[in-house]
Structure 1
């Protein structure tokens, strides 16, 4: 059966076994309820020995019984009370069937090369009542569960409990119904659930991943490690999106790599450089691989934009966009291959080890604000020096064009240095970040027009296009020339703010 995914929005309560549930037909928007149905559900939960999934509030199970028997993967959504659930039915598959690849791929950045093993077995007697809305459509489901659970971890134990679950159906967002149900169920004997999931209760405490944050008086090392943890989380979060080539995912994962590298470059004496050099090189390689896919992705979007207002023939569209599409498909396959390699998983392991046990450098204990100020000033001086070199060059020469690219890279480095200060919550860095972003963006826009005009010229030189198509190329080139001059003017204004 093909995988299906939906957003699950539910309430969960602990309750005394046998406690009578209230009549939920009094809830707003509910006009009726189905007769209760009772099911026997048997589930085996899977995780790594390190509980990498449970630590990230993710559950993976194989369950028999009920209307949704099969494999389930539940992940956080960032919305309170909501989780993303991926389901795969298995029909008559044997109980010891391997975990489907469709469930492993979204979490492989967490599990990596570690084996998935059974960590808990749960048996639930579930009585379900479906609530109907005014149009006769099911709007919510109420489940009364009697649960018996056996942890399969070393030293694990057996336990029993009862709970209520109230779930909106079809990814519902009826907050009025949800709030009313919570109030009614609490007033009827429901208590705040002791665990976020049945698995969490079955296996007990787990090494839950917490969002990185700073204390009141952070050192430079505190700030650097916090920033590394933030961007590590971003890298892992975008991994499954890149694997399905979701929109903007390659770009965001590449940015995470660059931000991690910028921390090493911007604060070189806070961590021991001898211990981080290899990590920096691995991130550079990953960013380059992702960059091939990202560059073709950007060029496809640019080409489509150039042609949008033009009466271009199918031949011209194919000439301008066809090659990039092929390049992108090939680059995405290369990225996926790299992301399935032992080298990539070793990189992720190394980042985690660095966060858990950072190797301090000579400036690890200085004040975080001082470290940021030094980094920003160093990058500002680097940009000014590059601009002075640019002023001595012949405008529009190849060297001049390359120097603009150098300035853009240094502006990006400055921007990342100011971004690294975000956990400090200091407003004075925002103006610098804004100027650096504007500088970087304007030079990026100029570089795009330069590359586009070069490609247009090469295409025109082939003499394979019709007269009308050549006219279209001329119109596009003229627009790109104007856009390039506009971008340069914006760069010169932005440069004054640094």
Structure 2
């Protein structure tokens, strides 16, 4: 399916019906305006019965008429006065239910198992005028709208109003600022709602269960439960935020979502007495499985990037490039498809609901009311002791033996656990916590590089054994293996210096 995303930057105003539009050419030096065009726009907006999309400042609509008819998903943006808009034309829409699949996937982490149903219909009589600069470049469009909206929610009604919109096309911030002052002077007023839909449905009805759980504050007198809930909510929000980016395979998205899943599970395992025994076990188990699914795609992503970097320094023959680039790309694409399937299952969506419930209504454990600093200190100390024991155990093995290499892997995992535990208490601002976290991160970083070389060399050996290669390819493969061995030894040397 072909979907296109754009950034919608616009101003919206309430106006009295029939208020004449001002002359817009004066907004731009030597500018001009196009011939006004009139359209009838008929839109149906979709949401769950408890309007969870609207609560998350997200709108999903099907609109006929105008210059961009089709399906549109609008979401918040970090750019001021802007929203991200993902559009799918009617010709390109592929359905799995009543909403195009690509848009349903993008809101899955918000909607969960809820059903998307029509919640409002909005008809707009629009007169649209383009604003051009001296070179004929379209900078913005000005819309005069007469709106008739009907809420399909229980108790909803019909409302009519007039509004103006000024949307940038190829213009800039100063133009937007000038337009705001200019239109206000012409009689426009601050919009009473952020969107047509918000005005159509009015104040949101009380939901039976809010999914937008507020993180509890963590102050000097915070309890251990306050800390755990705060951290769980923080990483839950990160997980949900990266979900749609992972589905579209955006750069670094899989890595960030995987880290969020691991940090969530780390909190549950690092503070076992803060929540009631067994209360978080189902969520912890599912988070482990989710981390594994994301890990498969992420590991192949790292492997592919490494192979591309290594071969960039070599005059490698075509058969080796096929084995290390094209074949690895195929393997990763399979892993990404499996990952997307996993994120579409009821099991994953139920995990998000269960995580929300754990945050919103946690069952206190034995340490729940203890001071957060005390419980965090114990958890961090315990994770650090486990790391040190693993480091001391390394002495029992011959250097570079398989057992020694495996023990370095164990140290890396213990360091990662210690780092996550220390970072979970960062809001408590204890220098000793920060020092342990920094040390554990350094250990994890160096041994992570070494672990990557071990995985890469194992994969290179598999390619050499199972793939028919030319002598030239085998020669280059040997060079790559030697370079990875040297990189691994350098990483271990850096770890030992710690």
2:213–2:360 CA contact under 8 A, matched in 1: no
Find the counterpart in structure 2 of residue 486 from structure 1: 490
Aligned match for 2:304, one of 300, 303, 326: 300
Task: Determine the C-alpha separation between the residues in 2 that align with 1:23 and 1:379.
Answer: 68
Aligned match for 2:349, one of 345, 352, 372: 345
In structure 1, the gaps of 5 or more residues are: none
Cα gap change, 1:137 to 1:212, in 2 (>3 Å): farther
Find the counterpart in structure 2 of residue 227 from structure 1: 231
| Deviation digits for residues 109-148 of structure 1 (CA, Å, limit 9, x no counterpart) | 2223321111112222222221112210111111122222
2:419–2:437 CA contact under 8 A, matched in 1: yes
Find the counterpart in structure 1 of residue 182 from structure 2: 184
Find the counterpart in structure 2 of residue 13 from structure 1: 13
Task: Determine the C-alpha separation between the residues in 2 that align with 1:210 and 1:79.
Answer: 24
Find the counterpart in structure 2 of residue 470 from structure 1: 474
| Deviation digits for residues 344-380 of structure 1 (CA, Å, limit 9, x no counterpart) | 1111111121222122222222333333333222211
Find the counterpart in structure 1 of residue 193 from structure 2: 195
Task: Determine the C-alpha separation between the residues in 2 that align with 1:270 and 1:428.
Answer: 22
Q: What is the root-mean-square deviation in Å for CA atoms of aligned residues?
A: 2.6
In structure 2, the gaps of 5 or more residues are: 205-209
Task: Determine the C-alpha separation between the residues in 2 that align with 1:240 and 1:41.
Answer: 28
| Deviation digits for residues 238-263 of structure 1 (CA, Å, limit 9, x no counterpart) | 22222233332222221121111011
Cα gap change, 1:458 to 1:60, in 2 (>3 Å): closer
| Deviation digits for residues 189-223 of structure 1 (CA, Å, limit 9, x no counterpart) | 33332322111121123369477462544332222
2:218–2:230 CA contact under 8 A, matched in 1: no
User: How does 1:343-422 map onto structure 2 within 5 Å?
Assistant: 343-422=347-426
Task: Determine the C-alpha separation between the residues in 1 that align with 2:462 and 2:317.
Answer: 18
Task: Determine the C-alpha separation between the residues in 1 that align with 2:8 and 2:24.
Answer: 20
Task: Determine the C-alpha separation between the residues in 1 that align with 2:468 and 2:127.
Answer: 71
Cα gap change, 1:208 to 1:351, in 2 (>3 Å): closer
Find the counterpart in structure 2 of residue 130 from structure 1: 130
Indicate the SS of the match to 1:372: helix
Offset, 1:8: 0.6
| Deviation digits for residues 286-315 of structure 1 (CA, Å, limit 9, x no counterpart) | 111221122122111112222111111112
Find the counterpart in structure 2 of residue 73 from structure 1: 73
TM-score (norm. length: structure 1): 0.90
Find the counterpart in structure 1 of residue 263 from structure 2: 259
Task: Determine the C-alpha separation between the residues in 2 that align with 1:358 and 1:211.
Answer: 13
Task: Determine the C-alpha separation between the residues in 1 that align with 2:13 and 2:168.
Answer: 15
Find the counterpart in structure 2 of residue 53 from structure 1: 53
Offset, 1:404: 0.9
Task: Determine the C-alpha separation between the residues in 1 that align with 2:486 and 2:148.
Answer: 71
TM-score (norm. length: structure 2): 0.90
1:213–1:423 CA contact under 8 A, matched in 2: no
Cα gap change, 1:92 to 1:355, in 2 (>3 Å): closer
1:220–1:365 CA contact under 8 A, matched in 2: yes
Indicate the SS of the match to 1:225: helix
Indicate the SS of the match to 1:275: coil
Offset, 1:428: 6.2
Indicate the SS of the match to 1:195: coil
Find the counterpart in structure 1 of residue 202 from structure 2: 204
User: How does 1:260-339 map onto structure 2 within 5 Å?
Assistant: 260-339=264-343
Find the counterpart in structure 2 of residue 154 from structure 1: 154
Indicate the SS of the match to 2:52: coil
Task: Determine the C-alpha separation between the residues in 2 that align with 1:138 and 1:427.
Answer: 55
Find the counterpart in structure 1 of residue 440 from structure 2: 436
Indicate the SS of the match to 1:272: coil
Task: Determine the C-alpha separation between the residues in 2 that align with 1:28 and 1:422.
Answer: 50
Indicate the SS of the match to 1:307: helix
1:74–1:83 CA contact under 8 A, matched in 2: yes
Offset, 1:105: 1.8
User: How does 1:109-120 map onto structure 2 within 5 Å?
Assistant: 109-120=109-120
Cα gap change, 1:370 to 1:164, in 2 (>3 Å): farther
Offset, 1:487: 0.3
Find the counterpart in structure 1 of residue 207 from structure 2: none
Indicate the SS of the match to 1:22: coil
